[in-house]
Amino acid sequence: MADDTATSDGKISHHAPHDELPNFLALDQAVLEILGKDLKICSVNWLKPSMWSTFARIAIESSSGTQKQYFLKCATGDAGKTMLEGEFHSMFEIYKAVPSLVPRPYGYGRFWQDNAITYFLLSDFIEMSEGLPDHVELSKCVASLHCRSQSPTGKFGFFTTTCHGKICQQVAWDSNWTSFYTKLLGDALQKDLETNGRWPVLEEVSSRTLYKVIPRLIGALESGGRSVRPALIHADLWEGNIATEKGTGKIFLIDAGAYYAHSEMEIGMWRCQRHAIRDEKFKNAYLEQMSKSEPTEEWDDRNRLYCVKMNVIHSAHHRGVQERQTAFEDMCYLVNKYAPYTPHELEQRGLLNQFSRAAEAANSH
């Protein structure tokens, strides 16, 4: 991490090799416009970058002597624009519902002077502690978001494109949750195909999941007089996107790619084997705050199906990872239970050797 200090005019005096620093070495005027006038930039410290973003901590002092720190997130190109615009609106929507739950977002935009075409998001800086969040407090925070939020259209989706990681999601408004989730998962599966290439058996089982399993398993939520209330979800809620503030223990959610969804969709991520938040105590604490939707006996299967999207989009980000196989196995399990093939269909579709083994393997997920 470079230790870079900015002067009051926003220029950075850095003390690290150039290749450790981002391409933009000045606090752009577009950021200063959001910060406001009559303040002194005390420092700008560039933090460790992620795979597709760069971060900085900005310390300022107002004319009255008040000191404050801000968090700056930057990304480049059209993809960076979409990602940060979606993240800003996601965080602001959460902020409107539960202001204490996210670092306050102040604005986003494009640097005025930058040949690389850099976009940014500005919010409060949170000094984070290490380790997992308290499971009880986290469950209360997440449940408060799901209960207090109100879809502005009464539908599922979001008013602008949001991203899961760096990949755009299909979040166009839809009044029907079954239809919305079909499109959401279908789009994720297509993104995975673009990253990892053809796998005919996966494609066959994916189609069966989209057009047979989802109408049965998710459709049951909206049949027999039942309905699903759209709730605002963070949509990428693993431990890396949950901050516990040093000194206070207060929990903040960060890096959201939000949309209005069935609230149970949120904790599909908590089933993923790659995340420490898969610990049963997190799920159980949440279910103490939020009751299972009817039919309750199918809750675990819905959780498995929602986890499929999380694993598929992870696979779409990272070529060749195990999560593609895991998603395949989970879909085989659900197809076998809710839309089973006949022996003839298995043979005809070339599934005879892989399908039953995959469905059996999913029992360990």
161 exposure class (CB count in 10 Å sphere: 0-12, 13-18, 19+)? middle
Which of 321, 309, 264 lies closest to 291 in space, CA to CA?
A: 264
pTM: predicted TM-score of the whole model, two decimal places = 0.91
The verdict on whether omega for the bond into residue 152 sits within 30 degrees of 0, i.e. cis, is no
- The answer to whether the beta carbons of residues 266 and 237 sit under 8 Å apart is yes
Contacts 24+ apart (CB under 8 A), 6-11: 6/41, 6/42, 6/43, 6/44, 6/58, 7/41, 8/40, 8/41, 9/41, 10/41, 10/44
Instruction: Note the pLDDT of residue 26.
Output: 64
Alpha carbon separation from 210 to 36, 60, 192, 199 (Å, rounded)? 49, 51, 15, 16
Averaged pLDDT in 10-residue chunks for the chain of 365 residues: 32 32 62 90 89 92 92 95 98 98 97 85 96 97 98 98 97 98 98 97 97 98 97 98 96 98 98 97 98 98 98 98 97 97 90 85 85
pLDDT at 8: 31
Residues 132/265/316/314 CA torsion (nearest 10 deg): 20
> Which one, of 276, 292, 290, lies nearest residue 241 by Cα?
276
Task: Report d(CA 37, CA 40) in Å as an integer.
Answer: 9
Instruction: Give CA angle at 313 (312, 315), nearest 5°.
Output: 65
Looking at residue 111, its pLDDT comes to: 92
Indicate the DSSP class of residue 209: I
Which tokens in the block code for residue 279? Answer: 């610990």
Residue with tokens 């306050």: 104
Q: Residue 261: what pLDDT?
A: 98
Quote the pLDDT of residue 139: 98
H or E stretch including 68?
strand 67-76
